[in-house]
Amino acid sequence: MKYSSTSFDVDTLALTREGHLHSSLREIVAEASRVINFQDCSIALYDPVQQELVTLAGSNPELHTRHTRFKIGQGIGGHVAESLESALVVDVSIDPRFVQLGPRPVGSMLCVPIFQEGRRLLGTITAVSRQKDAFGEHQLRLLEMIASMAGRSLAQLVRAQQLQVLYEMGQQLLASTDTDQVFDLLRRSVGGLMSCDLLHLRQIAPIPSKPYTWWAASPVPDPPWPDLSALMAGGARVLLAEDLPPGSIPPVGVECHSFLFMPLLVANTALGYVLVGSGARRAYSSEHVATLETIGGQVALWLRNAALNRRVIDQSERLEALFLYSSEAIVMLTDGRVTRVNPAGFRLLGVEPDRVLGEQQDAVLCLSPVEAALGERPLYQLRTPRGSREVEMSISDVVAAGEEHRILTLRDVTEQRELERAKAHFMSMVSHELRTPLGSVLGFADVLYMSAGDRMSDEEIEYLEHIRTSSRRLVQLVNDILDLSRMDAGRFHLSVGPMLPGDIARQVLAELSEMARSAEVLLEADVPPNGSAIHGDARRVHQVLINIVGNALKVTPVGGTITVRVEYLGQDVRFSVEDTGPGIPEHEHERIFERFYQPVTSRGLAATTGSGLGLTIARQLVEAHQGRMWLESEVGRGSVFFFTLPASRKRRRPRRELPT
């Protein structure tokens, strides 16, 4: 399909390119011949780029198939096109404005302008007779009526042709895969609907790309262009050369005098802009702006959709890379059958792809639960042709392409678990070996202390007290290490039975009352008098609470207060320990539960003395009860440690089931 760089107008080229223009014009001439007696009738259409009229149809085919061109102001048609007024010439020979036209003498002439909407010149229709005084006002009015009907008929045909071009463009955009194709389609569509000597497209979002430029008869295929994004604030509009900033248009190709500028917008988001240029000085109108807005809207949607598609493709490629190169085994199940397995999965399962894909889950994944350490992800034993492996497994349910899938992610922790068991065994052995002599040291120290009497000086008794205190601290440290080693090895069990939370709180405060008196800190209890019993390990809950209150005593200043509360909140019982100490910075609220971590004061010193294991063990004990522990604190305003325990026996730790 050939497109000219200098078209007649928005409608005439569209008509010409489909071959409908000449047949429509011939019908108009035939209609004129039925009501007006003439020797010849012709229709010329206006070319705004060349500022000329072009004869395209007439009653004499031999005379009017040459597409004669004549300037505005030349001949009767040129004068009518210039004045936009109808002309009646009763005797051409005596009228100095006109000359003899064609190979035969002319006696009288009628010429009427053909308008589009808004009195925009479309062309002229001219009737000629060899006789003088062959036409009068009546024939002039008849020809004006025919010209008016012709204008409306051509406008409808033009609109139909415009819609056809836009439809074809939309269909081709759906099949376009890159911006080069879209720009070529844009160039052909715009060139088929309006005067187009220049077309410039620049994409600025979501990802800026190279600008695209087409010039009519330009020796430079893609000249450098400045960025015209500043013009986008004014919206779609007609511009003249003087409206553009200096240097906006590179001095190559056809010199353009009028322009159409249109931002490419989707949901008020600017994606780029289009600039169309013409060598004519008044080539564009508001109708051209509306046409370009329709075209640009389709292009903007394509750019937006192309960016979204690119994002989806990029994300899919990243996910596929993660799937293929993940060190963890990934197995996809659909309707209980294995549909995808990544390379790490085949290595873990120890089978070939053709032995796995399409098989039922139970035939591929031979899993049985394994006792895990407190706080760990569920552990399973996986039986494979190469032996048993211990794996951590997480399960995700997803919907893709309208189908439900289950994604199993398995991490082989066999070697890690073996190391942890070896470590736990070593720690347990060392702790037991330490606890025996420590027990002897502490026992003999207590015997000496109780039987000292007058046989030991005050200084010696003070030394003996240091021995007893340090021994107790070492015993507590050994006990903590033993607890952690059991938890890590999965050999830690609770002795669950009925217990009264209020009694445990009061017992802890009684045991620490002497320490509080020595530290000059007030201990308070806010405990319901008739609280109901719950199920848990009373000894371990006592251990949690005494650890928290003991820590609070270490940081609360002289004259401060520590309040222990027990509250029944629906399905939970909540314990809280509030102190008036220095508070803990927010960035340490989670770290304080890490192993061996101790918060640091503003002076750079440890806030408490100890191993840094107490809160770690306390949280794991609470979680073993299916509870939760957390901290609320603000520097300078004290701290509140909370933990909850299930009030109902039904909320005990659930048995781990295999995924189905």
| Residue 52 maps to a domain | yes
Q: Is 379:392 a contact under the CB 8 Å cutoff?
A: yes
**Average pLDDT over every residue of 468-489:** 71
Beta bridge partners of 329: 410
**Domain boundary residue, one of 163, 194, 219:** 163
**Average pLDDT over every residue of 411-427:** 80
Judgement on whether residues 453 and 530 belong to the same structural domain of the protein: no
| Residue 375 maps to a domain | no
Judgement on whether residues 435 and 291 belong to the same structural domain of the protein: no
**Average pLDDT over every residue of 339-343:** 92
Judgement on whether residues 505 and 635 belong to the same structural domain of the protein: yes
| Helix (H), strand (E), coil (C) string for 203-222 | ECCCCCCCCEEEECCCCCCC
Give the model's pLDDT for residue 522: 93
**Average pLDDT over every residue of 508-513:** 89
Q: Is 658:367 a contact under the CB 8 Å cutoff?
A: yes
| Residue 226 maps to a domain | yes
Q: Which two tokens stand for residue 445?
A: 């120290």
Judgement on whether residues 127 and 260 belong to the same structural domain of the protein: no
- For residues 35 and 57, give the distance between their C-alpha atoms in angstroms, rounded to a whole number: 18
Q: Check pLDDT > 90 for residue 72.
A: no
Q: Is 413:344 a contact under the CB 8 Å cutoff?
A: no
**% of residues, the chain, pLDDT over 90:** 20
Mean pLDDT of the chain: 81
Judgement on whether residues 527 and 583 belong to the same structural domain of the protein: yes
Give the model's pLDDT for residue 343: 92
Judgement on whether residues 523 and 429 belong to the same structural domain of the protein: no
Q: Is 644:572 a contact under the CB 8 Å cutoff?
A: yes
**Domain boundary residue, one of 270, 293, 313:** 313
- Of the two residues 246 and 406, the one the predictor is more confident about is 406
Place of tokens 């003498």: 105
| Residue 473 maps to a domain | yes
Range of lowest pLDDT (16-30, 366-380, 447-461) = 16-30
- Our count of domains for the chain comes to 4
Give the model's pLDDT for residue 453: 62
| Cα–Cα distance list, 153 to 24, 43, 143, 259, 644 (Å) | 8, 14, 15, 28, 84
**Average pLDDT over every residue of 158-181:** 84
pLDDT digits 0-9 by tens, 279-311? 877 788 888 898 899 999 999 999 888 888 888
Q: Is 169:146 a contact under the CB 8 Å cutoff?
A: no
List the one residue out of 125, 80, 124, 128 whose CA is nearest residue 108.
128
pLDDT digits 0-9 by tens, 518-533? 889 999 999 988 888 8
Residue at 100: amino acid letter: Q
CB neighbour class for 587 (10 Å; exposed up to 12, middle 13-18, buried from 19): exposed
Give the model's pLDDT for residue 648: 76
Q: What beta strand segments (E) does 435-484 contain?
A: none
Residue at 530: amino acid letter: N
> The domain that contains 229 carries what CATH number?
3.30.450.40
How is the chain split among helix, strand and coil, in percent rounded to 5? 45, 25, 30
Range of the domain at 65: 10-163
Judgement on whether residues 141 and 210 belong to the same structural domain of the protein: no
Give the model's pLDDT for residue 521: 92
Q: Check pLDDT > 80 for residue 7.
A: no
Give the model's pLDDT for residue 307: 85
Q: Check pLDDT > 60 for residue 609.
A: no
Q: Which two tokens stand for residue 261?
A: 């500028």
**% of residues, the chain, pLDDT over 70:** 84
Residue 327 burial (CB count, 10 A): 10
Q: Is 38 left (phi over 0), alpha (psi -120 to 50) or beta?
A: beta
Judgement on whether residues 50 and 194 belong to the same structural domain of the protein: no
| Residue 386 maps to a domain | no
Q: Check pLDDT > 70 for residue 460.
A: yes
Q: Check pLDDT > 50 for residue 9.
A: no
| Residue 378 maps to a domain | no
| Residue 27 maps to a domain | yes
Q: Check pLDDT > 80 for residue 151.
A: yes
Report CA dihedral (536, 539, 544, 550) to the nearest 10 degrees. Answer: 150
Q: Is 398:405 a contact under the CB 8 Å cutoff?
A: yes
Judgement on whether residues 77 and 210 belong to the same structural domain of the protein: no
Range of lowest pLDDT (96-100, 349-353, 497-501) = 96-100
**Domain boundary residue, one of 436, 463, 489:** 489
| Residue 82 maps to a domain | yes
Confidence of residue 99 (pLDDT cuts 50, 70, 90): low
Judgement on whether residues 434 and 576 belong to the same structural domain of the protein: no
Q: Is 303:311 a contact under the CB 8 Å cutoff?
A: no
Judgement on whether residues 237 and 299 belong to the same structural domain of the protein: yes
Judgement on whether residues 191 and 225 belong to the same structural domain of the protein: yes
List the one residue out of 231, 234, 211, 232 whose CA is nearest residue 223.
211
Residue at 320: amino acid letter: E
Give the model's pLDDT for residue 218: 59
Confidence of residue 361 (pLDDT cuts 50, 70, 90): confident
Q: How many CA atoms lie within 13 A of 333 on its CB side?
A: 19
